[in-house]
A and B are shown apart, each in its own frame.
Chain A
Amino acid sequence: EAQVTQNPRYLITVTGKKLTVTCSQNMNHEYMSWYRQDPGLGLRQIYYSMNVEVTDKGDVPEGYKVSRKEKRNFPLILESPSPNQTSLYFCASSSWTGTYEQYFGPGTRLTVT
């Protein structure tokens, strides 16, 4: 089954404690990205990757890091989380061919206290 998986689904942590949210897709998509969803703001892109070893900032990159060492994986790293990073995070992937439809993971709800 074609899918994007994320782990963990729920995470409660404290300010400053480094964390990683994993993302993996099995569709051989070149493009992957991370979004955060906040009430009234829709989804905003944090970082994206066009292919292995190619990453770039989205609209709200401050406080986040990413890496793309393998085509299928695109982890999101918060090296020193702060309460304003409390949000719902989605990983997505798409192919360069076709209609750029994005496939989304199930989401990770992060709470930073």
Chain B
Amino acid sequence: AQSVTQLGSHVSVSEGALVLLRCNYSSSVPPYLFWYVQYPNQGLQLLLKYTSAATLVKGINGFEAEFKKSETSFHLTKPSAHMSDAAEYFCAVTSLSNTGKLIFGQGTTLQVKP
């Protein structure tokens, strides 16, 4: 069965430091991949998506992610963390059997320290 694994349920960085949130997926064919962000008491907002057009994907708020087929990874990065980046981040992949369905990772809570 397809799955998404996010390494680290909590990540803490200092303001201005590099943000790296890890995501690995299992899929027999290249999927569509997404990163969503959830701010406290809010719904999910799309950060970026991979749709096979380019392996390096740029999203909103300075985030980007690189699709690496050989590693089945789609890690999310941002060069310099801001306090406003503190949130929960979800990696997701489209289901091969049900393309309207997203399979989510467990989520990673990002803490940004001043």
Footprint of B on A, CB under 8 Å?
31, 33, 35, 40-45, 48, 50, 58, 90, 92, 94, 96, 99-102, 104-107
Interface residues of B, CB < 8 Å — how many?
Answer: 24
Footprint of A on B, CB under 8 Å?
4, 9, 32, 34, 36, 42-46, 49, 51, 90, 92, 94, 98-102, 104-107
Q: Which secondary structure dominates chain A's binding surface? A: strand
B90 and A43 form a contact (CB under 8 A): yes
The list of the 6 closest CB pairs from A to B, nearest first, reads A31-B100, A42-B104, A104-B44, A106-B43, A43-B104, A99-B51
Q: Which of B46, B92, B106 contacts A41 (CB 8 A)?
A: B106
Q: Which of A33, A40, A96, A105 contacts B43 (CB 8 A)?
A: A105
- A99 and B104 contact, Cβ closer than 8 Å, known pairs A42-B90, A104-B44: no
> Which of chain B's residues have a CB closer than 8 A to the CB of A41?
106
Q: Give the CA-CA distance A43 to B78 in the complex, in Å.
A: 24
Q: Give the CA-CA distance A34 to B54 in the complex, in Å.
A: 30
Q: Which residue of B lies closest to A102 (CB)?
A: B102
Q: Give the CA-CA distance A9 to B45 in the complex, in Å.
A: 17
B42 and A42 form a contact (CB under 8 A): no
Q: Which of B43, B51, B90 contacts A107 (CB 8 A)?
A: B43
> Which of chain A's residues have a CB closer than 8 A to the CB of B34?
101-102
- A94 and B100 contact, Cβ closer than 8 Å, known pairs A41-B106, A104-B44: yes
B43 and A90 form a contact (CB under 8 A): yes
> Which of chain A's residues have a CB closer than 8 A to the CB of B36?
104
B42 and A99 form a contact (CB under 8 A): no
B103 → chain A, closest Cβ, in Å?
8
A29 → chain B, closest Cβ, in Å?
9
B104 and A106 form a contact (CB under 8 A): no
Q: Give the CA-CA distance A101 to B98 in the complex, in Å.
A: 13
Q: Which residue of B lies closest to A45 (CB)?
A: B101
